[in-house]
Amino acid sequence: DRETISTKIAKQVFEEISKNGVEPKKIVEAKGLIQISDPNILLPIIDEVIAKNPDNVKKFRAGNSKLLGFFVGQVLKATKGKGNPKIVNELVAKELGELL
């Protein structure tokens, strides 16, 4: 409910709980699975992804809005799945919108 971890990470935590019976909070902390929601951490990653993909930025500017998903996916990949997808989506859309 607090969006501390993603659904994908939650599945991993549940598997660990069933194997070892360890408290979920301890698993999340020990494995560094807390979701990244801080814009101060995410924005530099987003800027880097945008900078590395100038061709897709041009296509996005030309109206290919489906590329938003590409950029979000690249940011999530760069954060090893730890980026909060909702916040990443909002920030990427804002950053790309400012480039228009």
Q: What is the DSSP string of 44-80?
A: HHHHHHHHT-HHHHHHHHTT-TTHHHHHHHHHHHHTT
pLDDT by 10s per residue, the chain, length 100: 567 888 888 888 899 899 988 898 888 888 888 899 999 999 999 999 999 999 999 999 999 999 999 999 999 999 998 999 999 999 999 999 877 5
**Looking at residue 96, what is its pLDDT?**
93
Same structural domain, 88 and 59:
yes
Q: What is the domain count for the chain?
A: 2
Q: Are residues 44 and 26 located together in one domain of the fold?
A: no
Q: Which domain holds residue 4?
A: 1-34
Q: Are residues 93 and 46 in the same domain?
A: yes
Q: Residue-wise over 63-99: b if at least 16 C-beta within 10 A, else e?
A: eeeebeebbbebbbebbeebbbbebbbebbeebbeee
Q: Which two tokens stand for residue 42?
A: 């995410």
Q: Do 28 and 43 sit in the same domain of this protein?
A: no
